[in-house]
Amino acid sequence: MKLINKKNKNYTQVFHLFTEEEWAKTGKNFNKNIATFFTGKKHEIFVNAHEEGITYFIGLGKSTLQNFEIQQVALKFSQTQKEKLQPAPTLMLADFLNEKQFEEFVKGLLIGTYNYPFERNQPFWNTKFELHFENLSQKKLDHISQKAEALSNGQMACQDWLNKPANFKKPDIFSLYLKNLAKKYELKYTVFNRKKCEELGLGAYLAVNQGSAYDAAFTILEYKTTVKNAKTFGLVGKCVLFDTGGVSLKNSANLHYMKSDMGGATAVLGTLIYAAEMKLPVNITAILPITDNAISEKALLPSDVITAYNGKTIEVLDTDAEGRLILADSLSYLSKNYKTDFLIDLATLTGSSVRMFGDTCGALFSNNEELKNMLIKTGDQTNQRLWNLPLWDVWKDDIQSDVADLKNLSMKPVGDCIIAAKFLEYFIENHPKWAHLDIAGVAFGNVGYAKEKAATGFGVQLLVDLIENYH
């Protein structure tokens, strides 16, 4: 999207933004009949068509609104008006907006163009569309344009891969995409097939993969900056492309939604794209343990005992608690082989977190006060909220096994998202700054662009903001 610091005499399209307070102050300068339809409330749109063109009055709500609310308004405006908007130079009037608020508005306009499958055919992606805004310098506008496009590229990739039907994202298809992406963005790309995983001892990951018709693809992507002494973020994203539950088969009622079980991986993918496009001064080492959780004569059986990468033995009581198995090997492989300042894993992990929080927020667990507070603060700022839950040792007893070091489920009907976090803690190899984000309820849900549940893009703005502000 071209952002230009100028104001011509005539425009056929104008975006005029108001808070309720701004409208109360200046509304009397307009045709008095407009006030019947428009008061500046959040998401209110009044379309004023006149001889010279069209002015869109856009309501932001109270002037105390948070930055993310401006993005929400722009996103909804973009989604609902896309048929009518023209690819033409457009004047934006909003003297009261600061730089960050304007940036949020532009991000919202671009992210609001998303629908599946994503094609850049909305006016905002047309070269003829220019947004003219006098209140910021051209240099600042160029930077905002770059940031907004990098974010939407990351978020669109995240949403597109999550929304793809299962037969369009088999392990070989997704792996080829990541390989090409690594080439495009100059990321270091490493992938381990079944044979290599066996040599390395990635037994927990392989246990989930053994039922698959597709080869293993334990994938490592590394983004490196040239900046000296830069912080390194270790990211792990659960990447189960489709989850049948395995032999512990899921109920068929919502099984079609299980194409969304790679929500952690797509959040990491979007973050890598943003970091590479913005050349962020950090290093990122990301592990995406790609597999499906399938049923076959080779599939893992409840009661099997497996050996994880770090040597711990695990009794598998339920093959549908597979996410924690692939995360276990990913976390310990990352911790043992790479030096990272922060270790964060994201996963659509448990129904328990959905029952607890619905689509309001993700469940957060961390062994580090600073990282925990950073994540909560960033979640509040981006409206990708997290709520902290305890990691008390009282839950350790629930995963002790009679035939192995650990079992992958407590079999109690309560607190499974906490049990899963306690289980993962055994595989971080004493990393001092670890956080586990259970995003099962928030990665996939009700969205403005689709009739059914679909990808929300949760996690991309959260991680991007965290990495950008705390490197």
Catalytic residue among 147, 164, 324, 407: 324
In the residue annotation, 324 being an active-site residue is answered as yes
Catalytic residue among 42, 250, 372, 377: 250
- Three-state SS sequence of the chain: CEEECCCCCCCCEEEEEEEHHHHHHHHHHCCHHHHHCCCCCCCCEEEEEECCEEEEEEEEECCCCCHHHHHHHHHHHHHHHCCCCCCCEEEEECCCCCHHHHHHHHHHHHHCCCCCCCCCCCHHHCCCCEEECCCCCHHHHHHHHHHHHHHHHHHHHHHHHHHCCHHHCCHHHHHHHHHHHHHHHCCEEEEECHHHHHHHCCHHHHHHHCCCCCCCEEEEEEECCCCCCCCEEEEEECEEEEECCCCCCCCHHHHHHHHHCCHHHHHHHHHHHHHHHHCCCCEEEEEEEEEEECCCCCCCCCCCEEECCCCCEEECCCCCCCHHHHHHHHHHHHHHHCCCCEEEEEECCCHHHHHHHCCCCEEEEECCHHHHHHHHHHHHHHCCCEEECCCCHHHHHHHCCCCCCEECCCCCCCCHHHHHHHHHHCCCCCCCCEEEEECCCCCEECCCCCCCCEECCCCHHHHHHHHHHCC
In the residue annotation, 250 being an active-site residue is answered as yes
- The catalytic residues are 250, 324
